[in-house]
Structure 1
C-alpha cells in the first residue's frame, strides 16, 4: 500500500527520474489518487511536486494534477506569495489558457510581498 502521496502518484503515473516502487495495491486508478490529494496537507502535496517535478515543467504528472495540486496548496496557504508565484509559473509553463489566472496570482503575490520573494527553484529570494 502507499505510505505517501508521492508513492501513490508514482504508482499511477510513474516517475521520470527514478524507478517506480513496487506496490501491492490492486487499484491504481487516478480517482483514488485524487481523493487522497484532495485531503492531503500542503507539505505532502509540495513533497510530491518537488520529487516528481523537480524543475517545475518536467515530470510525468498530468497538467491537470499539477494545477489541482497548486490550487489545493494555495487554499491551505492563502497568504504565501512565493507559492503564488510558483503556481503562476506552472500555469504559464503549461499553456496560455491560464495566463489570466497566473497574472492574478502575481498581482496578489506582489500586494503581499512587493520585494518579490522568488518561488522555489528560481534562485535566491
Structure 2
C-alpha cells in the first residue's frame, strides 16, 4: 500500500505547487489509497496530519477518511464521536449526519448524550 501519510500531505493546499489543478493526480492517488486503507491506517494518518496542522488537510479529504473508517468500524463509539466533532468544525448539520453520529456513539457507549 502506498504511504498514506505522504499521499495526505500532498493534498494539503500549502504543499501544492503553483499551477497544480484543484483536483489533480495527488488527490486521485489519495482517494485511491483511502478507499482501500484499513481503519487503523486511516486513523493513524488522520492523527499525524491533524497533529501537524489541524487546518491543513482539506475537509473533503478528512471527511472521506473518517467516513471510510466509520464504515469499517460502525460500532466504535469513540471513532463515531471523533468523526462527528471533526465534521462539525467544517459543516452545518443541515443533513443531520453529525447529530446521528453522536447519538449512535452515545448509544454504543451507554453514556449520557453528547452536548
Paired residues, what number? Answer: 105
Tell me, yes or no, if structure 1 residue 71 matches structure 2 residue 67.
Answer: yes
2:41 corresponds in structure 1 to 44
The verdict on how the C-alpha distance between 1:110 and 1:101 changes in structure 2, with shifts beyond 3 A counting, is: same
Q: Deviations over 1:26-61 (max 9, x none)?
A: x95211111011001111111111011028x81411
The verdict on how the C-alpha distance between 1:7 and 1:98 changes in structure 2, with shifts beyond 3 A counting, is: farther
**TM superposition score normalised by structure 2:** 0.77
**What secondary structure does 1:60 align onto?**
coil
Taking only aligned residues, the RMSD between alpha carbons, in angstroms, comes to 2.8
Separation in structure 1 between the aligned mates of residue 11 and residue 40 of structure 2, nearest angstrom = 20
The gaps in structure 1 that reach 5 residues or longer are 17-26, 119-125
Structure with more of its chain in helix, by fraction: 2
**TM superposition score normalised by structure 1:** 0.72
2:8 corresponds in structure 1 to 9
